[in-house]
Structure 1
């Protein structure tokens, strides 16, 4: 593997489509990922959710890296920070938060189509999530709408539990249904092995099917921001909320809460 870990073609694809897949880069980090996810599920944090499923189990939780050593080691020492900085075309990569998502076998509930950006108090064109499965994924892989990070309006954020509005107000575009309009939207979707990763912009519309397989689907996602990311006010409590952060509109995220992991990436 080349030191840069990502080709110029992949960077161009990321800028054009808002998402790419990178193969095998995190294979040696899988034991730590498994350790961290197991601890997270055994000791859920304050934001843990079961997502109101009536069949199977869809667990997710976030913002646990400061209390789960395996996650902190991955954040600080894995190739993730340099990888996203290059994809974002940013000189820096600042860590935003971790997110664990687990769909047990026989869980038909899909992850609804959404953008992450409306839920966050971050604005900017240099953002990236890394979605890393701990298990082979086929039909339950991440699905992303190519080019949606360049849409004029962001997609209406909704509650995953009941599809209700996440905020009381806002100027949003309706939640899309690319399966109903396959000629209008190009969906990116990859079969993946443990160690692979999908990188996608916070503004890229994405979702996932339910897990009808006989094996669980565990994934760890790490969220990052780059040089141009700034704090922005939203019309209500964001997710994650980070209460008491004290930041004002237009400011960079405070580094004591959101550490700068990569600097001066060229």
Structure 2
């Protein structure tokens, strides 16, 4: 089956899943866990000021254990948007896949029944939280490949400020291999030229992206900038704004694997903005279409309203 047919099949399945999910919620079945005790006003203010914050023990261990199993299953059976960022002949593995919730019951249950949606809504000060997509990012020990400096908003077909990620640690993450954020960089509101982490430069190629500025050379400016990074335990979550500039180092041979499960969220003010060069066109090639027009709200079968 072609990639486009696989993608179209996933979208049709998403429609059926959404119908069943809403029916079960209406009947009093599984309800999202309350996240009020996991979010403090000081965390929201710090996020708004710095662009990134860590929430400790935000997700119960029972969810972490289930997601670990599902993550390993996905690595053996990836989806049509999977990308492996380590080049042939280089050590380690950097696995990256998207829209796992369409294929894995565990991810789907986590999104609709765990505290993650309420956490996202609270951190955005939103009236609602809508899932944009989910993503599994795994670096195995000995992986030298870095995550280059970038911000997410440059890749995403979105306009608006209520756009965040919740990056859940499934393994212990030492500060030395944690995602690093440039403090306050979300205030730059930078749209930069984008590139594939695996070096496939045709992936996002367009005339418009060629006209955008490059991301600033963060490594040359470290004396002028403050980096945010943390030691993390399973269940801890990084919350970051879509405009926050971030990157991550490789993983040492002696380090454990780093499995991160990221869910991306939008609030009620966000609009669909399919700028040339964004992931929208990569998704379309895989048959994954939100069926939205430019400027419309993100109300789509592909982006379910979770809470």
Pairwise same-fold verdict (TM > 0.5):
yes
More helix by share: 2
* CA apart distance, 1:40: 0.9
Equivalence for 1:20: 53
Question: How many residues end up aligned between the 2 structures?
Answer: 262
Larger Rg: 2
Deviations 1:30-82 (A, max 9, x none): 11211220121121000111113311111111112021000001100111111
Equivalence for 2:24: none
Deviations 1:159-193 (A, max 9, x none): 11227473322343322333321232221111111
- Is residue 98 from structure 1 mapped to residue 134 from structure 2 by the alignment? yes
Q: Relative to 1, partners in 2 of residues 1:15 and 1:163: Cα closer, same or farther, differing over 3 Å?
A: farther
1 CA distance for matches of 2:218 and 2:155? 21
* CA apart distance, 1:213: 4.0
Q: Relative to 1, partners in 2 of residues 1:89 and 1:2: Cα closer, same or farther, differing over 3 Å?
A: closer
Question: Which residue of 164, 170, 182 maps to 1:128?
Answer: 164
- Is residue 233 from structure 1 mapped to residue 274 from structure 2 by the alignment? yes
**Secondary structure of the structure 1 residue equivalent to 2:102:** coil
Deviations 1:184-236 (A, max 9, x none): 22211111111101000111111100001432111100110011111002113
- Is residue 33 from structure 1 mapped to residue 33 from structure 2 by the alignment? no
Q: Is the 8 A contact 1:133 1:219 kept in 2?
A: yes
Equivalence for 1:69: 105
Equivalence for 2:247: 207
Q: Is the 8 A contact 1:91 1:226 kept in 2?
A: yes
Equivalence for 2:222: 182
Equivalence for 2:25: none
Q: Is the 8 A contact 2:167 2:262 kept in 1?
A: yes
- Is residue 141 from structure 1 mapped to residue 178 from structure 2 by the alignment? yes
- Is residue 160 from structure 1 mapped to residue 197 from structure 2 by the alignment? yes
Q: Is the 8 A contact 1:23 1:197 kept in 2?
A: yes
Question: Which residue of 253, 260, 263 maps to 2:305?
Answer: 260
More strand by share: 1
- Is residue 6 from structure 1 mapped to residue 48 from structure 2 by the alignment? no
Equivalence for 1:48: 82
2 CA distance for matches of 1:52 and 1:35? 23
Q: TM-score, normalised by structure 1?
A: 0.92
2 CA distance for matches of 1:5 and 1:107? 33
RMSD: 1.9
Runs of 4+ in structure 1 over 4 Å off: none
2 CA distance for matches of 1:15 and 1:141? 21
Q: Is the 8 A contact 2:182 2:245 kept in 1?
A: yes
2 CA distance for matches of 1:113 and 1:40? 26
Q: Relative to 1, partners in 2 of residues 1:74 and 1:46: Cα closer, same or farther, differing over 3 Å?
A: same
Equivalence for 2:235: 195
